[in-house]
């Protein structure tokens, strides 16, 4: 049996090119399945084929156009209506019967329009202090899942109209109750009325129950052991990440984070539960420059660079606001790699968007920060994982950080800096959006010769 598992993870704030790398891997390895192990319908993974076809993947795996099927694990938040819309576009560009190619764990939670409405109302109430939410209801789905694990809607409920109707009424009522904390805070804004109408219109329950049941008949809701069977098949399986490590619920920079584990921890847990002990390649993905969509720290943000490098898939929107760009931040990249060391080492890095740097007259890279007169070249990783106060302190410190920038004379120098700083080799170089613009880089397996430093925020960085 020739089996190989690829785990991918975004080493930035998202938008690092996960879709294009998964598509490349799927084509090169002829992967039979892509497994989604975190996130939800907020994903926007752009894939451009050599023949010009293009799709922004949300809930389907980004290897679909390369012929791979999709499995959504229980860690994936499923939005059925958005899934149908995505399937329609895939069919329009030549993928026959897309919904028949997707299999879903029955325990995967459902994101509803009620979750989305409350999510948007909370962001509107925050005014200029938004958290940077994508406005898709991901966080509110997780709030309900943690508080009411029994009554929340899961994919396994899509086959029973009575169960769906009862649970939809519960979800609608539960999310109406969340508005108590917003009393007097909602602005006079047309979007407010639109979202309130969704929350209080009882006809939504019947509509959603009917739509969800129909979708449940078209997808494959699998039984326990399905992933183990996939992993035992001959060929390659690619685990596709969502969002980015720097947005992780515990390791990101609170409060500008997601309600999701964005490291490889979920993927590793799924492999463990499936008793997989074969070959695994763990690939971290990073752009050759920094980007961020939504509020929160971007230390190397450069307004001129943002204007010079408009993004093909991301732009300003009503919820995440502007898409920002900056120079490659090696401090953040090193932090993301070290955070992922906690579940497992990243074997290599895929560096994307190198072609965009060719448009620039000069290239810079951030090698450290100045914070209150102190030079910081490595961010601390807290010892106590579930300590959001520590992460909030770190976020506050970063608001005072100034990047230490160096000019990179040659592209090869940039690659060397990435490898030296992260102590991780580069395995894939991407010079454009298609698989034909990418290439594997041969390298010898490199063992870490620098210890993983685990620190409290009570170290000298805080004292500064």
With a cut of 50, say whether residue 81 has pLDDT above it: yes
With a CB cutoff of 8 Å and minimum separation 6, the contacts of 394 are: 253, 379, 380, 457
Residue 183's pLDDT is 80
Q: What is the pLDDT of residue 190?
A: 86
Q: Encode 228-249: b = buried (16+ Cβ within 10 Å), e = exposed.
A: eebbeeeebbbbbbbbbbbbbb
- What does each C-alpha distance from 17 to 145, 168, 263, 356, 463 come to in angstroms? 29, 35, 16, 13, 37
Query: Is residue 437 flagged as an active site residue?
Result: no
**pLDDT value of residue 220:** 96
CA-closest candidate to residue 263, choices 12, 459, 41, 40? 12
Find the catalytic residue in 10, 23, 45, 144: 45
pLDDT of 34 strictly over 50: yes
Greatest mean pLDDT among 142-156, 181-195, 377-391, 437-451 lies in 142-156
The CA distance from 96 to 93, in Å, is 9
Helix (H) / strand (E) element for 392: namely helix 388-398
The torsion of the CA quartet 184, 186, 192, 193, rounded to 10 degrees, works out to: 20
Active site residue 15: yes
**374 pairs with which residues across the strands?**
371
| pLDDT score recorded for residue 450 | 41
**What average pLDDT does the chain have?**
89
Asked which of 122-126, 142-146, 405-409 is least confident by mean pLDDT, the reply is 122-126
* Interior/surface letters 358-397, b for 16+ CB within 10 angstroms, e for the rest: eeeeebbbbbbbebeeeebebbbbbeeeeeeebbebbbeb
Q: What is the pTM of this model?
A: 0.90
The pLDDT value recorded for residue 463 is 33
**Cβ-proximal residues to 221 (8 Å cutoff; 6+ apart), any chain:** 103, 104, 106, 155, 156, 158, 159
The lowest-confidence range among 5-19, 126-140, 221-235, 268-282 is: 126-140
Exactly one of 15, 105, 329, 334 is catalytic; which is it?
15
Helix (H, G, I), strand (E, B) or coil at 206: helix
How is residue 47 annotated by DSSP?
E
Element (H, E) at 227: helix 226-232
């Amino acid at each position: 049996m020739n089996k190989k598992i690829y785990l991918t993870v975004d080493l930035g704030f998202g938008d690092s090119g996960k879709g294009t790398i998964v598509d490349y891997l799927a084509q090169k390895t002829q992967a039979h399945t892509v497994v989604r192990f975190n996130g939800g319908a907020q994903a926007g993974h752009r894939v451009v084929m050599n023949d010009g076809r293009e799709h922004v993947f949300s809930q389907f795996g980004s290897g679909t156009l390369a012929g791979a099927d999709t499995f959504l694990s229980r860690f994936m938040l499923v939005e059925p209506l958005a899934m149908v819309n995505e399937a329609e576009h895939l069919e329009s560009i030549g993928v026959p019967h897309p919904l028949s190619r997707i299999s879903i764990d029955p325990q995967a939670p459902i994101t509803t329009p009620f979750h989305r409405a409350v999510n948007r109302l909370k962001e509107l109430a925050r005014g200029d202090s938004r958290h940077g939410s994508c406005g898709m209801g991901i966080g509110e789905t997780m709030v309900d899942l943690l508080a009411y694990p029994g009554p929340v809607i899961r994919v396994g409920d899509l086959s029973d109209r009575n169960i769906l109707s009862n649970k939809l009424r519960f979800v609608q009522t539960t999310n109406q109750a969340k508005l108590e904390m917003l009393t007097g805070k909602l602005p006079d804004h047309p979007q407010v009325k639109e979202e309130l109408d969704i929350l209080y219109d009882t006809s939504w329950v019947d509509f959603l129950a009917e739509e969800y049941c129909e979708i449940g008949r078209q997808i494959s809701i699998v039984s326990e052991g399905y992933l183990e069977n996939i992993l035992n098949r001959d060929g390659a399986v690619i685990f596709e990440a969502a969002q980015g490590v720097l947005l992780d619920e515990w390791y990101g920079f609170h409060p500008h984070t997601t309600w999701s584990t964005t490291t490889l921890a979920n993927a590793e847990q799924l492999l463990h539960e499936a008793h997989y002990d074969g070959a695994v390649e763990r690939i971290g993905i990073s752009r050759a420059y920094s980007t961020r969509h939504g509020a929160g720290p971007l230390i190397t943000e450069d307004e001129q660079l943002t204007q010079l490098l408009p993004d093909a898939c991301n732009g300003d929107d009503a919820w995440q606001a502007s898409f920002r760009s900056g120079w490659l931040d090696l401090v953040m990249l090193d932090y993301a790699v070290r955070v992922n060391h906690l579940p497992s080492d990243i074997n290599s890095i895929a560096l994307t968007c190198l072609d965009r740097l060719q448009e620039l007259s000069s290239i810079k890279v951030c090698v450290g920060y100045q914070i209150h007169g102190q030079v910081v070249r490595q961010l601390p990783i807290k010892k106590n994982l579930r300590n959001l106060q520590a992460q909030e302190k770190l976020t506050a410190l970063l608001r005072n950080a100034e990047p230490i920038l160096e000019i990179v004379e040659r592209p090869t120098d940039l690659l060397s800096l990435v490898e030296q700083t992260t102590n991780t080799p580069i395995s894939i170089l991407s010079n454009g959006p298609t698989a034909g613009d990418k290439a594997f880089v041969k390298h010898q397996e490199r063992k870490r010769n620098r210890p993983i430093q685990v620190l409290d925020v009570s170290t000298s960085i805080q004292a500064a």
